[in-house]
Structure 1
């Protein structure tokens, strides 16, 4: 698996810094007003969903004495899933929260009753109904809190302007704070305007962060109740990983078959033909037959070496017998670029993880030799907590990435199939550092 390093990669332009601090920009940012709009819309939307949920539960409960209660409940749950889809769309548009749809319904067989059974057995359907009940009181609180906080903040901030411009207040001695019929306490209009303006400014500046805190609860509710369950997500990941493993195994089998057909098999066929000719010439021309046998002996050695290389590519014997350290040292010795190897392991990981680590380093060193233009490289392996860490670095031209279609993308998929991770740091001009993280499973 090869990964092409870009010869002349370009750095993305560095974003320019804003002259206005983020705290002063936040009240006017689009994100703030989208979140405020989301909080304002939550109450009417939640009211509709809450009313729908109450109607579904009460109607189906009232009809349970008859057979109609179960289909009505199933239809209500299906409608709740539809309302949940609208809520996910609203969260995506206003909160930037992209939540995947829950696992689809899978009836065991065609027919209405099979569909009703699938709806009632679906945990996602019941979570959508629960969302309608849970979200309503929170939406009411968030609506009142956000609208009150935001309107009072802007009113206090603008108070100095409209108070001084109102002629009806010009003759007043100030703002009355307290009075018992005999004693009245006034505050100067200037002081009142200054204090209210300061409090209003603080509330306006704090408003965006209040909205983010309130919408964070909405994010948790949408993600937890309207999205796929953790178990379903894990099943989807495992299905995807299984596909990657199957494809990788099929590709490896095709490579082995091609190497056998084009290499050792072709050489052994030629060897059999040469030995057949030597056998025919053995009586008539013993010297020529001896030369042909000698050449065949050389071909046997070459075929044996090819078979050893092929076996090493499948699973090297040194890895099984002596472990990852000696195997990587032998691998580095065959690389055309000088490589230093440092392995710090107090024990061996699981054989499958050990094999994946070996072939990960092997492919990375092949990329270094073929594409990086480096004159030295280094391999570091260590064990931390429950992870096996690999790092391959070189001083080449850089530009490596895990973009789709490249060799590193395929390698990242292989590591992901065993819950591993591949991180590439390769700026233009180098150096390149590729770090792989694998579960230990020792």
Structure 2
């Protein structure tokens, strides 16, 4: 059945609270669909009810042991699958299009994280309630429709429509996402885990860079200066002391450069002082591929948004340098109402994927943590185009309105 036929079916009038017109034909194809759905309810509802009761009884009886609680969690996972089956059946037979609930995401890793998430899953419990209340309703509708098939032909189309409308209401009420708040909570919980993992990885990177880079150089510098000091105090200063001091001077310069690079990786000073335009132009200047930048912003967004955009561009330009084999690239940033948009393009070989190990998935998670979007378009042979957007969050004191305006532009 096509989407347009769903929209013109009388069932949609009931969905909107409009009184139902009489069927177009005494027994139309829609009426037969509804009759088939109502007759099939009885055996399916009996099976679902029996499984539900046995599962609950066994799970509660064994809850004092190590088996009961995992059994309850497994049953709730099965309830989600049962709800998916019933949504598909209602979609096919009744034309009821119900969104799928958010995917279950454990807040913590491991078995106990999965266990706790399953036990408090409101979607699965609503699906269990659906299986419980459907048995008496399924028996009633089966009996009414079966009798009407033999003795009530004049009223059968109306009965099938009214009874199936109750089923439509049940499906929408118990098998759909409860509300947008529930979906957003699940998404934000997942984003919080992703942000926590990203922050932990960044801290490990900073610790590794300090330990293996600047710290090691400073230790070597201290040892070299100590030896030079001993020779000076003992009056044995010669050319070797001058060489030690010269080497120490070189180590100091290298350590300072590494510390500058590390500070830039945490938060670049040019971004804080001058904003996205100069900061992105600086990134473009360090890329091995010629990059054109265009930043069209009348005002500066919040510091957190600037940082996310900066590090997203930094990661994308590193991918351009390492993997794209491109001859040129471009970076564009602009504002559209309450969103900040970013597009990075290159004329390279393409073939980039979110699961390709190039950090794209991490970028998508980082943007998702602030209610952003990340779209990758990279066919084999190129070009590659990454489009991202994040919410516009103004700095304190900025006017609530705003739009596109003059910004910094540059070219390497």
Q: Verify the 8 A CA contact 2:127 2:174 in the aligned structure 1.
A: no
Structure 2 partner of 1:326: 278
Which structure has the higher relative contact order (CA within 8 Å, separation 6+)? 1
8 Å CA contact 1:395, 1:431 repeated in 2: yes
TM-score when scaled to structure 1? 0.57
Residue 233 of structure 1 deviates from its aligned partner by: 2.2
Which of 254, 267, 274 lines up with 2:217 in the alignment?
A: 267
Q: 2:364 aligns with which of 412, 415, 424?
A: 412
5 Å-filtered alignment, 1:264-343, equals 264-282=214-232, 283-343=235-295
Which aligned pairs between 1:46-195 and structure 2 lie closer than 5 A?
86=82, 88-93=84-89, 95=91, 99-100=100-101, 124=126, 128=130
Select which of 235, 245, 251 maps to 2:201.
251
- Secondary structure of the 1:284 match is coil
Distance 1:248 1:319, change over 3 A: same
Distance 1:46 1:385 in 2: 53
The alignment covers a number of residue pairs equal to 299
Q: Deviation string for 1:169-193 (max 9, x for gaps)?
A: xxxxxxxxxxxxxxxxxxxxxxxxx
Q: Post-superposition shift, 1:350? A: 1.5
Candidates 313, 338, 343, aligned match of 1:361: 313
Change (3 A) 1:331 1:35: farther
Q: State the Cα distance separating 1:36 from its structure 2 match.
A: 6.5
Do the aligned partners of 1:102 and 1:229 also contact (CA within 8 Å) in 2? no
Shift of 1:232: 2.4
| 1:119–1:297 Cα change, 3 Å | closer
Structure-1 residue corresponding to 2:60: none
User: Aligned partners of 2:121 and 2:250: how far apart in 1?
Assistant: 71
- Measure the CA separation in 2 of the matches of 1:388 and 1:434: 14
Shift of the 369–286 alpha-carbon distance from structure 1 to 2, 3 Å rule, reads: same
Q: What CA distance in whole angstroms lies between the structure 1 residues aligned with 2:270 and 2:390?
A: 21
Aligned residue in 2 for 1:227: 176
Q: Distance in 1 between matches of 2:31 and 2:349?
A: 45
Partner residue, 2:344: 392
DSSP 3-state at the match of 2:241: helix
Conserved? CA contact 1:102–1:226, under 8 Å: no
Taking structure 2 as the reference length, the TM-score comes to 0.61
Q: Does 1:427 align with 2:376?
A: no
Name the residue aligned to 1:40. Answer: 36
Alignment of 1:4-19 (within 5 A): none
Q: Between Structure 1 and Structure 2, whose CA radius of gyration is higher? A: 1
Q: How far apart in 2 are the matches of 1:428 and 1:34?
A: 46
CA offset digits 1:364-396 (Å, max 9, x no partner): 000000000001000000000111100000000
Which whole-Å deviations, capped at 9, do the CAs of 1:258-300 have from their partners, x for residues lacking one? 1111110111111111101111222202443233112211211
Runs of 5+ consecutive residues of structure 1 not aligned to the other structure? 1-21, 24-32, 50-81, 105-117, 148-214
Q: 2-side partners of 1:380 and 1:323: how far apart?
A: 14
Q: Tell me, yes or no, if the aligned pair for 1:84 and 1:226 is still in contact at 8 Å.
A: no
Task: Tell me how far 1:220 sits from its aligned partner.
Answer: 8.1
User: What is the root-mean-square deviation in Å for CA atoms of aligned residues?
Assistant: 4.5
Relative to structure 1, the CA distance from residue 398 to residue 85 in structure 2 (aligned partners, 3 Å threshold; closer, same or farther) is closer
Counterpart in the other structure of 2:389: 437
- Taking a change above 3 Å as real, the CA distance of residues 266 and 130 of structure 1, as seen in their structure-2 partners, is same
Call closer, same or farther: CA 1:220–1:415 in 2, change over 3 Å: farther
| Deviation of 1:227 (Å) | 3.2
Structure 2 unaligned regions, length at least 5:
5-28, 46-77, 93-97, 106-119, 150-163, 395-412
CA contact (8 A) 1:35 1:95 kept: no
Distance 1:47 1:322 in 2: 70
Looking at structure 2, the residues matched to 323 and 315 of structure 1 have their Cα atoms a distance apart, in angstroms, of: 12
Residue 348 of structure 2 aligns to a residue whose secondary structure is coil
Taking the aligned partners of 2:104 and 2:248, their CA distance within structure 1 comes to 63
